[in-house]
Amino acid sequence: MPRGWFVPVTPGTRFVTVGGAIASDIHGKNHHLDGSFGNHVTRIRLMLADTTVVEVGPRHDPELFWATIGGMGLTGLILDATFRLLPIETSRLSVDTARLDTLDDVMSEMVASEADFRYSVAWLDLLATGKRLGRGVLTNGVHARADQLAPADALQPYAYRADQLAVVPPVVPPQGVINKLTVKAFNEMWFRKAPRRRQGELQTIPTYFHPLDLIGHWNRVYGRAGFVQYQFHVPYDEVGVLRTIIQRLSAAQLPVFMTVLKRFGPGNPAPLSFPQAGWQLAVDIGVARAGIAELLAGFDRLVLDAGGRHYLAKDASLTPAAFRRGYPRLGEWQAVQRRVDPAGVWASDQSRRLRLT
């Protein structure tokens, strides 16, 4: 950033490596415009299972290149990579905020406004019911120009600080502090504090892109059992499935405060890349809740019947059969993986559970 550049894609946390960004083919708030991280990679230097080091790219062994993009590290060790950066004038974002009263309002506004902004994301209140179902806050952003900064900030246009504002202490009740009462209060506060309409507010990169990074050990609020993030995609013409899942989550009245709705643009050639054109929803759910596994299994069926899929970087519960339905090009990826790792050296708990290799 001090040299006037920004990463082409950033997820919701800055604590991610370049190798992890490639292996998970991460996406951000700009997928509708810029695609996922793999779209911007031009070269990867990879150590194969037999310790051979090779260079691959979109035009040099493209099959291995695209198998590595989104391949969860199972094609080899990513030693280094080259990728395109985004030129910026400042370290600020110019953000437009809209507080919207229904799910229909949120989705309509996203569709109408996304072409005008590089970044777009909506937070939804999944405890809202009735006419307020799916109400949320939409924040659209672009990198701020130098002439938008206040005179004092213009002296250091690339100034960047990512300090933590607080740390959740290790002494937390075993069941955590996330419950329907606390989350309902938080969701109401988060919704009401957002302006009905605000344009051109300057925000820092941590505030807009990585808000949870501002709180150290924030996961502790879920207690010892922790949480899972359920993240899925459905095509644009299957928006009814998205609505059904949101309705069922609202009816279950689970204490959910982290809910992210985004729109994806076209996918890339990687067989195991998650993003495809359509809607994606990510929901953090504490696992210390009865019936969570059954609820998510029901969602799996809806998503897969709609031609959707789940994000490998977040998955903790998919079955091998469910994964194969969501990723019909798995066989194509496996052929490349076995070419460079015939003995099955590279493996992970997830690859064994899903029988990827």
Query: What percentage of the chain has pLDDT greater than the value 70?
Result: 100
Q: Assign domain 92-321 to a CATH class.
A: alpha beta
pLDDT at res. 227: 87
Query: Taking all residues of the chain, what is their mean pLDDT, rounded to a whole number?
Result: 94
Locus of tokens 């204490």: 255
Across residues 244-259, what is the average pLDDT?
Answer: 92
With 90 as the cut, is the pLDDT of residue 168 above it? no
- Residue 23: count other Cβ atoms within 10 Å of its Cβ: 23
Across 90-99, 143-152, 218-227, least confident range: 218-227
Between CA 321 and CA 330 the distance in angstroms is: 11
Question: Which CATH number among 3.30.565.10, 3.90.1150.10, 3.30.465.10, 1.10.3720.10 corresponds to the domain 5-87+324-351?
Answer: 3.30.465.10
Across residues 45-52, what is the average pLDDT?
Answer: 97
Greater confidence, 78 or 224?
78
Domain with CATH 3.30.465.10 in the chain: 5-87+324-351
Q: Which two tokens stand for residue 162?
A: 């990512």
With 70 as the cut, is the pLDDT of residue 288 above it? no
pLDDT digits (tens, 9 = 90+) for 235-247: 999 999 999 999 9
**Rounded to 5 degrees, what angle do the CA atoms 352, 354, 355 make?**
60
pLDDT at res. 317: 87
Q: Which among 253, 88, 59 has a CA at the least distance from the CA of 159?
A: 88
pLDDT at res. 316: 87
Across residues 30-59, what is the average pLDDT?
Answer: 98
With 80 as the cut, is the pLDDT of residue 176 above it? no
38: helix, strand or coil: helix
Between CA 185 and CA 77 the distance in angstroms is: 45
- Prediction pTM value: 0.94
* Sequence-separated (6 or more) residues with CB below 8 Å from residue 9: 21, 26, 27, 28, 30, 31, 34, 35, 36, 37, 39, 40
pLDDT at res. 207: 94
Domain with CATH 3.40.462 in the chain: 92-321
pLDDT at res. 163: 85
